[in-house]
Structure 1
Amino acid sequence: MNAVPDDRPAFPGTPLLLDVTIRDGGYVNGHEWTVPQARSVVRTVAAAGVPFVEVGYLREAASGPLTPSARCEPDYLEALAAVAGATGLAVMVRPGEVSPRAVKGLADIGVRMVRVLAGRLGVDAAVPFVEAAAEEGLLPVVNLTHASTHSAARLAGAVARAARVGARIVYLADSNGSLYPHETAERVRAAVEAAADATVGFHPHDNLGLAFANTVAALGAGARAVDASIGGIGKGGGNLRLELIAAHLVRHAGADLRLDPLMDEQVTAPVRMKMILDAGAGAMMTGMLDVSLEQSRGFREQAAVRGYDALLRADAYPAPSLGGTAIG
């Protein structure tokens, strides 16, 4: 799979694939990947031929050896870039946690993409980071979170706005893992129509076991970029399995990807097991009821008192309101 060209993301035969094992999987292990573990993941993803690997959140420097993926300091990025080969590093930015000045110099230490979270479709807050990334020669990307809670028309408007301010890829994130394939296709189709020269991407979660089906629907509706993780590691019910979508793209889109490195990977095994043990019925229910990660504590408290059956019935759980900090 070729790297993204300089003029604009264009993937005539094969969608762009981005690995989110370290960043999104950090919600499972508290972002306590060690640098050797993160290097192993990056090495595996690079060996598989995946063009981009997202390695954490860009935040202010902090003391202590743990949670390097929660702040992406220069020495951490340099250590990962050393084993990334042709695979580009991506970092996630949440407006309000760091200044756009933090983007300066990232290209010199191996970063090629900056992804900016736009919670509540707040594209305006993402603009300074998009501009800073473009000035540094990085690929500026906007992630529109909680796509299940917004209509296709509202998402399309936000996509158009993100494209106008310079985002080269705009992702729709099914943050709550609540979308069904027909809903995914409707939202992606509207986004593609509004995107102008930008590429539309899709970030699935698997609370309902529909991450792969939703991704296939998104690709069919015109999405040209997809997020996935090794073993589906990620928050809530997990993400799309990288090995599954890679196999699909090899068979059905002629992708130049390799499965053996992904199938043989062992470093993430403990985190995969933790996700399975921790998620359980709660992840399925939060997906069914469109409950965000920010709301999950209140949901668990209600479930403990009232039981899942009561919450599943009509109007048993209040309609989600996106309070708190948006998470992709």
Structure 2
Amino acid sequence: MFRPEIKVIDCTVRDGGLMNKWQFDDKFVRAVYQGLSEAGVDYMEIGYLSSESAFCRTEVGPWKFCAEDDLLRIIGESEKKIKFSAMADIGRIDYNDIRPQKESVLDMVRVACYVHQIDKAIALAHHCQDKGYETTINLMAVSTVGPRELEEGLDDLAKSRVPIIYLVDSFGAFYQEDIELLAKLYMERLPGKTIGIHAHNNQQLAFANTISSVICGINYLDATLYGMGRGAGNCPTELLLSFLKNPKFNVRPLIKVIEEEILPWREKIDWGYFIPYMVGGVMNQHPKAAMACMESDKKNLITEFYDQMTSAAAI
């Protein structure tokens, strides 16, 4: 589907980093950066924007911070041909640690929040806007939010200056009909704003739900190379670009990066469709229990995990 206003944000390093504490080396990040640039992807979300006081560099890699020196090292001497974004979590970034955009190679800051944090998210996003950044607010875990609470939250977002609001299927719980209903609700409650989607693949629906969102008029689309991301992973970038039919996109550079950089990580960490992640998605549960199972010596005891999860839900 060709629609020129559609923008693709690749979150491989940021979301994939949730699986290895952002401990990607420069070779990996530079290969992703160059591949996305050659493919014509609009944005690369290169990590989180966090304060050094919030995390320890001996425990997490540099892409948890997106320090300017690290970003410049990836770009090197070449001209930057793709926009950079970073995600900021409420309470993990000090306002004073956000430099003016004219002093940074970051172009966009995306503020992630839950519905009860909307006021704080708007304040942080406005602060970033005042410093010159493009901004979005990514409203997480909406599958757990009641209709009235969600409508009130969207009404608050409608009053903000933030131009892009994301529908996030944090637990991979949504089906096509959910996406259609929510896309309509977001557009009705957020007049004049652009809507984005971030889909997780617990039920192997991230790509399908992203397609449904495009048909509904959503224009900012998140994806990751080979679906690499937390738990069940995300909508695959290479699939999404193939679907969009925009002549500016070239899928081959992404295939090359997957072959050379992503597949080796497939031997070290597990993401994508696994039964524990499926169970979490069907039950609309945070993936932490499934991730703990997958990281344990019981990751193949999937009947035991199913029984534990369903028994706990019945209590």
TM range (shorter): 0.7 to 0.9
Q: SS at the partner of 1:236?
A: coil
Q: SS at the partner of 2:107?
A: strand
- The alpha carbon displacement at 1:133 in A equals 1.2
Change (3 A) 1:120 1:293: farther
- The alpha carbon displacement at 1:283 in A equals 1.2
- The alpha carbon displacement at 1:182 in A equals 0.7
* 2:248 alignment partner in structure 1: 256
* 1:307 alignment partner in structure 2: 304
> Which runs of 5 or more structure 1 residues have no equivalent in the other structure?
1-10, 320-328
Q: Give the Cα–Cα distance (whole angstroms) in 2 for the partners of residues 204 and 275 of structure 1.
A: 20
* 2:45 alignment partner in structure 1: 54
Match of 1:68 among 47, 62, 70: 62
* 1:217 alignment partner in structure 2: 212
Q: Report Cα offsets for 1:111-144 as digits up to 9, x if no partner.
A: 1100001124521111222112111211111000
* 1:160 alignment partner in structure 2: 155
Task: Please tell me whether the aligned partners of residues 92 and 114 of structure 1 are also in contact (alpha carbons under 8 angstroms).
Answer: yes
* 2:93 alignment partner in structure 1: 98
Change (3 A) 1:35 1:176: same
Q: Report Cα offsets for 1:80-135 as digits up to 9, x if no partner.
A: 34457221110110011111222223442211100001124521111222112111
Q: Give the Cα–Cα distance (whole angstroms) in 2 for the partners of residues 297 and 262 of structure 1.
A: 27
| TM-score, reference length from structure 1 | 0.83
* 1:40 alignment partner in structure 2: 31
Task: Please tell me whether the aligned partners of residues 115 and 153 of structure 2 are also in contact (alpha carbons under 8 angstroms).
Answer: no
Change (3 A) 1:153 1:43: farther
- The alpha carbon displacement at 1:213 in A equals 0.9
Change (3 A) 1:68 1:24: same
Alignment of 1:70-85 (within 5 A): 70-82=64-76, 85=80
Q: Give the Cα–Cα distance (whole angstroms) in 2 for the partners of residues 84 and 307 of structure 1.
A: 52
Q: Give the Cα–Cα distance (whole angstroms) in 2 for the partners of residues 288 and 214 of structure 1.
A: 15
The residue type paired with residue 39 of structure 1 is R
- The alpha carbon displacement at 1:65 in A equals 9.8
Match of 2:10 among 19, 29, 43: 19
Q: Give the Cα–Cα distance (whole angstroms) in 2 for the partners of residues 136 and 210 of structure 1.
A: 37
Q: Give the Cα–Cα distance (whole angstroms) in 1 for the partners of residues 263 and 34 of structure 2.
A: 16
Q: SS at the partner of 1:307?
A: helix
- The alpha carbon displacement at 1:156 in A equals 4.1
Q: SS at the partner of 2:222?
A: strand
Change (3 A) 1:273 1:221: farther
Q: Give the Cα–Cα distance (whole angstroms) in 1 for the partners of residues 147 and 179 of structure 2.
A: 9
Change (3 A) 1:49 1:155: farther
Task: Please tell me whether the aligned partners of residues 199 and 209 of structure 2 are also in contact (alpha carbons under 8 angstroms).
Answer: yes
| Larger deviation, residues 257-266 vs 76-85 | 76-85
| Larger deviation, residues 200-209 vs 260-269 | 260-269
> Which runs of 5 or more structure 2 residues have no equivalent in the other structure?
none
Task: Please tell me whether the aligned partners of residues 91 and 114 of structure 1 are also in contact (alpha carbons under 8 angstroms).
Answer: yes
| Larger deviation, residues 274-283 vs 181-190 | 274-283
- Give the share of equivalent positions with the same residue, in percent: 24
Change (3 A) 1:12 1:102: farther
